[in-house]
């Protein structure tokens, strides 16, 4: 059972919304939480009130307003939510920099490039991230949504009844409401951990100096991505995880590639560790844990907690609205409707897929279902995702175990990246594609890709799985040579070869003997 969130930027008067307060973050605030902003006077009744302006809430509000509905959007912190402010955007900006640092460090040996000297400038990495994030923030700005005709309210929204939400003294009555309050980092109940104020994704992007030593708790996507990036910047990183492997939700062969790459980048992986306590030692922080029957104490300037997420479900009157929830989130049916028929939920607060594109897809569906009697089912969405380690792991649809649980027999085709010319020439030939097909057919049930740009390559397989395009037709599609994307066609070729029955092989052999 995860602990309550540590004090962070959300809703606390003494804690700033974002740090440092440089020109980039001031620009961010001007877009996402304008200091001089005044809430509008509420309309009599809204077609739609949206609570939370992360991806799920913004997309819901934008589509609702574009279709002519009267829409109110409420945000207590920064519009844009986690993805823009403390998630995808800042993490991918620094991952890009970490990739560049790593390339430069190894370019002389790998490519005969001029040798690089010097330490690198971590402060510049973080400033670049803040600048780009502020640039991107225009898309999610309060002004942009106001211009779309959305009534934007800054403040904490609370349900006051089944059809009313209050914010900053205003009462907003609604025909339909959408809860899009997202989630927060979970802090495991380790004695002393909360007291030493560890970093989470809400505060790590505030750093301006590189921690010499960094301890990371948790080997999910966030822990692995950031551990590898900080190791590439030169931190001594130790990743401590309770489970015996990293990325437990992914294909185990795929995770092994990433584990080896992280170890090569200098991340010390202390898997299978039971954390006993946390504390302080002078200006540093300590973690005591048991590993392989021994007790170890690790010391670092900073500890990053990336041990899972918990949905934001408490403290805003869900009980008053008759909306059922538990520690896993707001309860919704397949059509995203809560136990209050006027109220729907999208995104991290209610979804088992906690991705920006999942919140986006659900928001598009919820508009149909909530306002137009739509019958869209969230469980029918084919969901791809990617972990942006180096190499990346991208996946879509079912794993073999999912298919087995559903009683579906599968054929699995795997092709290693080391067989691919472009991967060899790029010097990034570690990885594979693995496609699961309904047995005896070429219908794609799921696929995993491990490659430097797997996230960009999974789209073809996601399209095929969504549109019912078989692997055979992918094999008949011409792919440019030499590209990493050819790996998918190679999987199709392998499938075609497998399909050749012994009888067909004998017939071909006979034919070629005759036409000699
Ligand atoms: C470090 C990190 C990296 C990530 N990287 C990726 C990635 O690369 N790709 C990807 O697809 N996903 C990624 N994610 C996940 C992605 O950020 C989330 O899935 C996405 O932000 C969910 O959007 P949402 O709208 O459901 O919630 P959120 O973005 O969390 O937005 C919820 C909003 O609701 C507001 N709110 C809450 N309660 C109230 C209230 N009572 N009143 C008013 N406002 C309220 C919050 O302040 C917040 O702004 C990452 C997440 C993290 C933490």
Distance 5 CA to ligand 1 centre (A): 15
SS (H, E, C) 453-467: CHHHHHHHHHHHHHH
**pTM of the full structure:** 0.94
Identify which of 57, 83, 306 to mutate to test ligand 1's pocket (most ligand atoms within 8 A of the CB): 83
Per-residue pLDDT of the chain (516 residues), as tens digits, is 233 333 333 334 456 899 999 999 999 999 999 999 999 999 999 999 999 999 999 999 999 999 999 999 999 999 999 999 999 999 999 999 999 999 999 999 999 999 988 889 999 999 999 999 999 999 999 999 999 999 999 999 999 999 999 999 999 999 999 999 999 999 999 999 999 999 999 999 999 999 999 999 999 999 999 999 999 999 999 999 999 999 999 999 999 999 999 999 999 999 999 999 999 999 999 999 999 999 999 999 999 999 999 999 999 999 999 999 999 999 999 999 999 999 999 999 999 999 999 999 999 999 999 999 899 999 999 999 999 999 999 999 999 999 999 999 999 999 999 989 999 999 999 999 999 999 999 999 999 999 999 999 999 999 999 999 999 999 999 999 999 999 999 999 999 998 766 677 677 777 778 876
Distance 358 CA to ligand 1 centre (A): 11
Closest residue by CA, ligand 1 atom 50: 87
SS (H, E, C) 339-362: CCCCEEECHHHCCCCCCHHHHHHH
Identify which of 77, 217, 356, 383 to mutate to test ligand 1's pocket (most ligand atoms within 8 A of the CB): 356
Nearest atom within ligand 1 for CA of residue 80: 49
CA distance 449 to 452: 10
CB-based contacts of 300, cutoff 8 Å, min separation 6: 211, 213, 214, 215, 236, 238, 284, 285, 286, 287
Distance 306 CA to ligand 1 centre (A): 15
Distance 126 CA to ligand 1 centre (A): 21
Q: CA–CA distance from 131 to each of 19, 25, 142, 218, 253 (Å)?
A: 13, 8, 19, 29, 37
Residues in contact with ligand 1 by the CB-under-6-Å rule are 10, 51-57, 74-77, 81-83, 87-88, 91-92, 156-157, 180-183, 201, 222, 312, 316, 347-349, 354-357, 359, 388
CA distance 144 to 166: 23
CA distance 134 to 125: 14
At 86, list the tokens: 């403390």
Closest residue by CA, ligand 1 atom 45: 52
């Amino acid at each position: 059972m995860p602990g309550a969130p540590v004090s962070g930027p959300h809703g606390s008067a003494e804690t700033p919304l974002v740090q440092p307060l440089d020109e980039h973050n001031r620009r961010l605030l001007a877009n996402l939480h304008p200091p001089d902003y005044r809430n509008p006077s509420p309309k009599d009744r809204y077609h739609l009130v949206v609570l939370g302006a992360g991806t799920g809430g913004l997309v819901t509000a934008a589509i609702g307003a574009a279709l002519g509905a009267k829409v109110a959007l409420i945000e207590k912190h920064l519009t844009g939510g986690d993805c823009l402010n403390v998630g995808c955007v800042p993490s991918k900006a620094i991952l890009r920099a970490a990739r560049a640092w790593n390339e430069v460090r190894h370019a002389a040996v790998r490519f005969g490039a001029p040798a690089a000297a010097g330490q690198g400038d971590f402060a510049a990495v973080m400033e670049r991230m803040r600048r780009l994030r502020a640039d991107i923030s225009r898309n999610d700005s309060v002004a942009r949504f106001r211009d779309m005709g959305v009534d934007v309210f800054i403040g904490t929204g609370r349900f006051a009844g089944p059809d009313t939400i209050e914010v900053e003294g205003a009462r907003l009555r609604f025909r339909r409401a959408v809860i899009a309050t997202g989630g927060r980092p979970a802090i495991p109940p380790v004695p002393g951990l909360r007291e030493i104020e560890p970093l989470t994704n809400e505060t790590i992007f505030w750093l301006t100096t590189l921690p010499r030593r960094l301890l990371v708790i948790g080997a999910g996507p966030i822990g692995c991505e950031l551990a590898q990036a900080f190791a590439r910047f030169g931190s001594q990183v130790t990743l401590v995880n309770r489970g015996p492997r990293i990325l437990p939700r992914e294909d185990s062969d795929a995770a092994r590639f990433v584990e080896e790459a992280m170890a090569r980048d200098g991340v010390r992986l202390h898997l299978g560790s039971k954390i006993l306590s946390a504390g302080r030692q002078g200006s540093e922080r300590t973690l005591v844990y048991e590993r392989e029957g021994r007790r170890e104490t690790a010391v670092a300037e900073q500890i990053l907690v990336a041990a899972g997420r918990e949905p934001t479900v408490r403290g805003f009157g869900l009980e008053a609205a008759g909306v059922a929830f538990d520690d896993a989130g707001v309860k919704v049916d397949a059509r995203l409707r809560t136990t209050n028929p006027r109220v729907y939920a999208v995104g991290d607060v209610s979804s088992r897929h906690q991705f920006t594109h999942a919140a986006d897809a659900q928001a598009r569906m919820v508009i149909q279902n909530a306002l137009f009697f739509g019958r869209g089912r969230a469980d029918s969405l084919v969901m791809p995702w990617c972990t942006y380690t180096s190499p990346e792991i991208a996946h879509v649809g079912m794993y073999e175990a999912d298919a087995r649980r559903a009683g579906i027999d599968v054929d699995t085709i795997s092709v290693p990246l080391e067989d691919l010319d472009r991967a060899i020439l790029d010097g990034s030939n570690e990885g594979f594609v693995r496609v699961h097909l309904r047995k005896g057919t070429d219908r794609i049930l799921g696929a995993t890709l491990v490659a430097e740009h797997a996230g960009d390559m999974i789209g073809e397989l996601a399209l095929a799985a969504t549109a019912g395009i078989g692997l055979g037709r992918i094999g008949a599609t011409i792919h440019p040579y030499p590209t990493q994307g050819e790996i998918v066609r190679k999987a199709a070729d392998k499938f075609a070869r497998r399909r050749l029955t012994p009888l067909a092989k004998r017939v071909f052999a006979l034919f070629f003997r005759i036409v000699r």
